[in-house]
Chains A and B, each alone.
Chain A
Amino acid sequence: MTQNVLRTRVDHRAFVVPVVLLVLWAIASSLRLVDPHLLVPPATVAATLVQMLGGADYWSAVGSSLARVCGGFVLGGAAGLVVGVVLGVSRIAERIGAPTLHGARSVALFAWIPLLTAWFGDGEVAKVALIALAAFFPVALNTERGCRQVSNALLEVGRVLEFDRWTTVRRIILPAASRSIVTGLQLGLTTAWIGTIGAEYLVDQGTGIGIALSSARIDNRMDIILIYMLTLALMGLALNLIVRRNVVDD
């Protein structure tokens, strides 16, 4: 099933534009039409790529970013699940908490950075806190929505069986809301990934893809920037595949 989807997706026409662009790029840089600092020749990028793939820096940057996104996603996702269930199950909790939650969500994610760095310093804690915040909102909001939209018929079954509140949540509400919760987790993973790159770029202490991009910019190394951007494109594609696969399995 999944294989068929993948097979029908591959269309040779998709490769025409990238190849044409690559050729144009090679011609433009070999004719020196543009400043070579701006438009590094493809050969230079390839050489740098080989060199980077052989070295430790590249892999440690990728590894650190992955570790960070996992840590932040687990923390923020767990908090989002708890808050989402509480707000989704209890009417009074929703009326107390939802306005504040929606208000806080309106703040652009990276606007929290100055506050987080002031409180937690320029190290790992501020970054992971921002990633957790990025994952928290979509998970909390989708969980809340899913729990609130459980049909009355199901809830009545629970009442007939005289489930207590906790059993109702565990046996009826959570399974019924699972689709919405999974959507929230997928969205949360995507925003956590964006949060990771941004947090690393803005708080550039340690190792990570965002930090490597930031220092490559300072060194004016377009080849390194392009390689990390390519890396991010591939990782984004992989992330999309994971997320889609789950939807198909669901």
Chain B
Amino acid sequence: MATRFASFVKPIAAQPGVCSVKRPSLRWWIDPRTIALGLLLPVTIVVAWSIAVRLEIMRPQILPSPLTVLATARDLFVGGELLAALGISLGRVVVGLAIGSLLGILVGIATGRSRTIDAYFGPTIRGICQIPTIAWLPFFMIVFGIGEGLKLALIAKASFLPLFVNTSAAMRAAPERFHEVADVLELDRWQRLRLVVLPAALPLVASGFRMGLSNAWHVLVVVEMVAAAAGVGHLMAWSRTLFQLDAVFVTIVVIGITGWAMDATMRLIESRLSPWTANA
């Protein structure tokens, strides 16, 4: 009996408000006019940049020519330096994010499920989270030194907050009447969790995870610039110290593309996990 109705409970419990199932279409990407217009500004910038280099408006040390940047990009790529640095950075993000999001989800579940726990621990945690992650850097540097522990602690801290906040809210995301339906259907604890609480919580937790990933990537770049012997941020800071701005340009683009790719992947996963809130 319960299972027959369960398939009916699920989609209702899942959608708090909007129910627009809109698949992101690929037409937008393929339309040549859109691509041409989108490329107009970057191409103009590169042309203006080349002219500025040709006229030597800025010293070539400060503004290397686009061709130099391209050649450097090829060298760094073919030489394997770039991919090695990227691999190290991504490895740090994965481990730090795993620690931070696990803690965030656990604490979020505890504070979300129990108002008492929330009343005791919530304000302290939220208060501590008011401190920008960057300001934790000197504290962690003294506590953990400048080894791997520092990077993981900082990334974990950066990704903790969005997961904690969203999971805590997610635990209360299922409206009261869905619980009433669950009561009527006499769902047991496990079924209620699987069919009512989790579907309502999933979209929020997923978007918290996406924010956590983005925070983690941002803060990793900083900590690698300040205290690291490897990684993309270190490659960038080191190139800057040597005044090789061509390599700095390359790393900025790589950081941008990586950040974008991670965000796009997470959005895709999010829309797969909870198609009923697509485009939220």
Q: What is the interface of chain A, defined by CB distance below 8 A to chain B? A: 11, 13-14, 16-18, 21, 37-38, 92, 95-100, 103-104, 106-115, 117-119, 193-194, 197-198, 201-202, 209-210, 213-214, 216-217, 220, 222, 225-226, 228-229, 232-234, 236-237, 240
Closest Cβ of chain A: how far from B180's Cβ, in Å?
27
**Chain B 183-197 interface mask (CB, 8 Å, partner A; 1/0):** 000000000000000
Contacts of B132 in A (CB 8 A): 193-194, 197-198, 232, 236
Contact present for B138 and A108 (CB under 8 Å): no
Give min CB distance, A50 to chain B, whole Å.
Answer: 21
Beta-carbon contact of B119 and A14 below 8 Å = yes
A118 touches B143 (CB 8 A): no
Which chain B residues lie closer than 8 Å to A216 at the CB level? 138
Residues of B within 8 A of A114 (CB): 225, 236-237, 239-240, 248, 252
A111 touching B255, Cβ below 8 Å = yes
Chain B nearest CB from A69 CB (Å) reads: 12
Contact of B30 with A by CB under 8 A: no
Contact with A along B251-267 (1 / 0, CB 8 A): 11101110110010000
Selecting from B38-46, B70-78, B79-87, B201-209, the interface stretch reads B38-46
A111 touches B251 (CB 8 A): yes
State the majority secondary structure of interface residues on B: helix
- Residues in chain B within 8 A of chain A (CB atoms): 34, 37-42, 45, 58, 62, 116, 119-124, 127-128, 130-139, 141-143, 217-218, 221-222, 225-226, 233, 236-237, 239-240, 243, 245, 248-249, 251-253, 255-257, 259-260, 263
A236 to chain B, nearest CB (A): 3
| Interface pair A213/B135, CB less than 8 Å apart | yes
27 contacting pairs across A/B (C-beta < 8 A): A14-B122, A96-B37, A96-B40, A100-B45, A107-B259, A108-B218, A110-B222, A111-B236, A111-B251, A115-B248, A117-B240, A118-B245, A197-B135, A201-B135, A201-B138, A202-B226, A209-B135, A210-B134, A217-B141, A220-B142, A226-B139, A228-B135, A229-B139, A234-B130, A236-B132, A237-B127, A237-B130
Q: Establish whether residues A236 and B131, one from each chain, have CB atoms under 8 Å apart when the complex forms.
A: yes
Given contacts A96-B37, A202-B225, contact A14 B142 (CB under 8 A): no
Most buried by B among A14, A202, A210, A228: A14
B121 contacts A17, CB within 8 Å? Answer: yes
The interface residues of chain B lying within 8 Å CB-to-CB of A103 are: 42, 256, 260
> Complex formed: what's the CA distance from A216 to B139 in Å?
10
- Given the known interface contacts A100-B41, A220-B142, the answer about A236 and B222 at a Cβ–Cβ threshold of 8 Å is no
Query: Which residues of the other chain, A, contact B237 by a CB distance below 8 angstroms?
Result: 114
Q: Which of A100, A118, A214, A217 contacts B62 (CB 8 A)?
A: A118
B243 touches A118 (CB 8 A): yes
Asked if B222 contacts A202 (CB within 8 A), the reply is: yes
